[in-house]
Amino acid sequence: MSGDESQKKVFDAEAASLVVNELRGSFTSGTTRSYEWRVSQVKALLKLVADNEEQITDALRSDLDKPPLETVVYEIGMLKNSCEVTLKELKHWMTPEKVKTSIAVFPSTAEIVPEPLGVVLVISAWNYPFLLSLDPVVGAIAAGNAVVLKPSEIAPATSSLLAKLLEKYMDNSSIRVVEGAVEETTALLQQKWDKIFYTGNGRVGRIVMTAAAKNLTPVVLELGGKSPVVVDSNINLQVAARRIISGKWGLNNGQACISPDYVITTKDYAPKLVDALKTELENFYGKNPLESKDLSRIVNSNHFARLTKLLEDDKVSDKIVYGGEKDESKLRIAPTILLDVPQDSLVMGEEIFGPLLPIITVEKLEESIDVINSGTKPLAAYLFTTDNKFKEQFVTTVSAGGVLVNDTVLHLVVHTLPFGGVGESGMGAYHGKFSFDAFTHKKSVLYRGFTGDASIRYPPYTNTKLRLMKALIGGGGLDIVRALFGWSTKA
């Protein structure tokens, strides 16, 4: 056996089992449950980021040619914010919640006690490989769990850096990184976890859920989908165009789960929208966007080929009204707008996850709701309008993980809003307290003393006891009085 072959077998099911058992031993010891441990680890993450910002930026440049500003804002900045919110609110999140009890269990008190689930697995994505790896880990740590992080092998520089930095900064008795690809992920999924958190696509999401079902392991699936943008004609067109561009091409060149996937507008308004998008795209990325330092490249040759296939489909190849330039040697595709795209084209049949933006036209904007609802539920839905009635109709009738009116993607940064999908765009949510809740079991606790031990709950069962029990369980105070005196409850 060659050296390469022996190295390849480093992490199998046996090795995965060993890691899980070690972490379970640490969790069982109670180490991760204390407030002090949780705070120390979140602070360690903040220090990790502060000490290594340049290395993180370089890794993301290597993996995606991601512009430093996007890294600082959307990867580093959002993670810092997540840590700071957690440090500020954690004591409150951990405090048991007192709740009322009913007369049926009088005298008693009750509370809901948040407790950690145990040993959890976080499987991350390649498009925001730093943020989407560590943001769920913040929630898992805050909730008091032991964690295994599996970064995406499609972003190898970031994966390697995460493994190195977490080993250096974090408590390795309770927090581990496992690098690798399909074999390593498969070995991890064969283990029994107390929760699995997966960010990625629906195909792998189904594999994760199938593996989790064998042990009845709960899952959070952060997936994606075709997030629509509906554009009305009564808007500030320049601002709308800039915000659509920011959410589409300013987020990893369209390689983002909440990136605008396609636009719906009226036939009459479409030419104006296209002109505005063209103008602002040129302002942002110049006349030759393939040379722009402010656009990420396509992650690898497989995704480049996939996007090329969508663009060369006979049904859309003549619909390109802007862009379309490609450089396979540099894995670059320019921002591309396609107008009047048929809904049965390849580009409308899957999540694009790249710099192509199809525009669908309708006679009346209200038809856009039927177009959206005829497909699977998206992770995000965006609407640009000043019509309050249509805004209300859209929010009420369009089912999506999240809805944003008159902007794109910014709901992602509001930690008081849950971030997650619905239907095929995912299940479960996180961010802020929702991250804590995602990795927490809310345990019901009822406290009673030895007084008030009513004989009516014990045999022999009499008609009087039956009346009283009915009144206690389903009636009010007057019903209980009637039952005690044997009065009829009928009018």
Is 5 designated active site? no
Residue ranges with strand state E in 84-174: 97-99, 108-116, 119-123, 146-150
Residue 75: what residue type? E
Helix (H) / strand (E) element for 20: namely: helix 13-28
> In angstroms, rounded to a whole number, what is the distance separating the alpha carbons of residues 468 and 480?
6
In DSSP terms, 119 is beta-bridged to 146
Buried b (16+ CB within 10 A) or exposed e, 354-393: bbbbbbbbbeebeebbebbeeebbbbbbbbbbeeeebbee
What is the C-alpha separation between 407 and 248, in angstroms, rounded?
11
Three-class secondary structure assignment of 55-92: HHHHHHHHHHCCCHHHHHHHHHHHHHHHHHHHHHHHHH
CA–CA distance from 285 to each of 61, 128, 169, 323 (Å)?
Answer: 18, 21, 38, 12
Please say if 222 is a catalytic residue. yes
Which residues are bridge partners to 362 per DSSP?
Answer: 266
Active-site residue, selected from the candidate residues 70, 75, 184, 222:
222
Give whole-number Cα distances, 146 to 59, 122, 335, in Å: 26, 11, 42
Q: Which of 83, 257, 280, 351 is catalytic?
A: 257
In whole angstroms, give the CA distance from residue 111 to residue 132.
33
Cα separation, 428 vs 219, whole angstroms: 8
Around Cβ 485, how many Cβ atoms within 10 Å? 8
The contacts of residue 227 (CB under 8 Å, 6+ apart) are: 258, 259, 260, 261, 378, 379, 380, 381, 382, 400
Q: Which active-site residues does the annotation give?
A: 222, 257
